[in-house]
Amino acid sequence: MTTARLSDIAAQAGVSEATVSRVLNGKANVSAATRQTVLAALDVLGYERPTRLRQRSAGLIGLITPELSNPIFPALAQVIEQALSRHGYTPVLCTQTPGGSTEDELVEMLVDRGVAGIVFVSGLHADSTADHDRYARLAGRGVPFVLINGYSEKIDAPFISPDDRAAMWMAVQHLAELGHERIGLAVGQRRYVPVLRKIEGFTAALREVLGHTREEAEELVRHTLFSVEGGHAAAGALLDKGCTAIVCGSDMMALGAIRAVRQRGLSVPQDVSVVGFDDSPLIAFTEPPLTTVRQPVEAMANAAVDALLEEVGGNAVQRGEFMFQPELVMRGSTGGRAR
């Protein structure tokens, strides 16, 4: 380390060159806060930390997510990765893409690399038709894991979920208060646990809030893809059924529903109200800003990391499901029913 560079670091950190020298040489008599300030200055100026001062990784943690085209998944991944990094772990992000590696292949790759644990987001655990024995085999190999979005009583692990039933109740209640009576639901395939729960919450709310029969309520559910195109197709079918409001299983679907409404020469929310689910990043900046049910991403992600690191540390966490409350965020895509 040359004198000139010492002076650069001292200026950046706002300390003396002598203090910088003491930190770099691992000497005592430097407060922890000052030490961190000097190390941060090194990072900002693009200098490598001396080997002995680099933070040792506590290990690798795998994070397996679906494709990142739905912004809720990168949002979850970001909070999980930040939380892992704070605890000294190095996150390894594995994204499933159509035609790419399967969940099982990604798990094999992570286990081969000696990961300390794995976080699964909306994986095969959420698919009620999938073989869940794969998770028992993973546990048998001594790899702790936590599962987000989707619950199965057959899997012995901590689960983190938003309350999908409550989310649909909130949406229906909000729309009913605005005067809507024919409310449709655009949602994914029935085999997924979060979808089944959304349907349960939605149909129960239609029966109890609006007095529909079970059959009438079921008639107002359309299964589709969790995408803009899927929302567009489902909304078209629901508009044909006379719906004046549409609740969607994701924000991406809601954008498709809004497009379908406009293609018919109608407007949102004057003619048709639309509610999303997730409160994805940037969704407040759509036109109109989207009313949606917010997944508590920060709380869920941090709880998943806390549970996993307890397991990694050999402290068994309570098995079963930790349920987190969503929140209705009212914006401009919902309004009073047109008379």
pLDDT score, position 3: 45
Q: pLDDT, tens digit, for every residue of 219-239?
A: 999 999 889 999 999 999 999
pLDDT confidence tier of residue 1, bands split at 50, 70 and 90: very low
Mean pLDDT of the region 280-289: 90
Residue 321 pLDDT > 80 = yes
Q: pLDDT, tens digit, for every residue of 113-163?
A: 889 999 999 999 999 999 999 999 999 989 999 999 999 999 999 999 999
Q: pLDDT, tens digit, for every residue of 257-268?
A: 999 999 999 999
pLDDT score, position 129: 94
Alpha helices, DSSP H, located in the chain: 3-13, 17-24, 32-45, 72-86, 103-112, 133-140, 164-177, 193-210, 214-219, 228-240, 251-263, 297-312
Residue 2 pLDDT > 80 = no
C-alpha distances out from residue 158 to 9, 65, 229, 305, Å:
45, 17, 34, 11
**Contact by Cβ (8 Å): 153, 315:** no
Mean pLDDT of the region 195-214: 96
pLDDT score, position 164: 97
- What residue ranges define each of the domains in the chain, with the CATH number in brackets? 3-53 (1.10.260.40), 59-162+296-324 (3.40.50.2300), 164-295 (3.40.50.2300)
- Which residues fall within 8 angstroms of residue 215, CB to CB, at 6 or more apart? none
* Percent of the chain whose predicted confidence (pLDDT) is above 70: 96
C-alpha distances out from residue 72 to 75, 258, 272, 282, Å:
5, 19, 25, 11
Q: How many alpha carbons lie under 13 Å from residue 171 in its C-beta half-sphere?
A: 37
pLDDT score, position 252: 94
